[in-house]
Amino acid sequence: MVSREVVVKNATGLHARPATLLVKKASSFKSDISVEFNGKKANVKSLIGVLSLGVTKDSKITVIASGDDETHAAEEVVKLIESLEE
């Protein structure tokens, strides 16, 4: 299991378009990937799950990956979240 903390810089947080991009990226990996925010946890491969967290701009979230490609998966998801600056 690999976990990484990242701060969401996107103006809208993880809503609609950014969440869709995140789900697409996460779905390309074999590993189970989840995000923790405010004591809640959601599967990143589920758009409804990501949206239900209500992650806003400047929120610190934890990305957790577990599986065959966990290290690469966690790095790529964190990289995508960091690149979502608008």
Are 34 and 61 spatial neighbours (Cβ–Cβ below 8 Å)? Answer: no
| Active-site residue list | 15
Residue 16: alpha-carbon gap to chain centroid: 13
Using alpha carbons, select from 13, 5, 14 the residue that is nearest to residue 44. Answer: 14
